[in-house]
Amino acid sequence: MKEEQRISKILETLKKDHPNAKCTLYFKNPLELLVATILSAQCTDQRVNIVTNSLFKKYRSAKDYANASLGQLEKDIKSTGFYKNKAKALKFSAQTILKEFDGKVPNTMGSLLTLRGVARKTANVVLGNAYGITSGIVVDTHVTRVSQRLGLTKNKEAKKIEEDLMRLIPKKDWILFSHLLIAHGRAICTARSPKCGVCHLNKICPSAFKV
């Protein structure tokens, strides 16, 4: 099977197996998604959603985060881990949003990368899921693991993995593709005990039954 055909089969299978794959962070606007994504570093989406359920009622605008004391922000997000750095990221990125972007989360990669605590992964999440802008492919631990096992990349660095995937995956599928790999990584291609026996990709996966 040619690689182009294999990629097409991977996409077809994942779309069929995970028809409801989407961003699992709760948000109603770009600011909420930005905050949730910053908090999701080294933390489960489930935990983040618990924290933001009350956080989003208390902080409703960039101004609210910008004017909050670091101490209070730390208390409000403590259970997400690394809360001191995350509190600084929320406060200082909000200040930049107020000063440079008229209080609105920017919708370009270059502008988002000027915000404290925002790298390509976070920017891709916000652009793709809040604005519907195809800027790249989100690379998290699930995407890294599953794409490596599927033989889509041999790289370990997120930026290089993203570059490999963007060369292989049709641009129209970039936003969805990360959701598909994350859903597959959580349900089937788990870190410790991948369920290769029931995986519908096992016939075209070079790692099937070998991990």
Q: What percent of the chain has pLDDT over 90?
A: 98
Residues that are catalytic: 121, 140
pLDDT tens digits for 36-84?
999 999 999 999 999 999 999 999 999 999 999 999 999 999 999 999 9
Note the residue count of the chain. 211
**What does the pLDDT look like over 64-73, one tens digit per residue?**
999 999 999 9
Q: What is the pLDDT of residue 119?
A: 97
Give dist(CA 94, CA 147) in Å, integer: 34
Mean pLDDT of the chain: 97
Q: Measuring CA to CA, how many Å separate 114 from each of 9, 17, 94, 95, 117? A: 38, 37, 11, 11, 9
pLDDT of residue 1: 82
Examine the pLDDT at 211 and tell me if it is beyond 60. no
**140's tokens:** 């998290």
Q: Where are the alpha helices (DSSP H) in 150-189?
A: 158-168, 174-187
193 secondary structure, DSSP code: S
CA distance 72 to 125: 26
What pTM did the predictor assign? 0.95
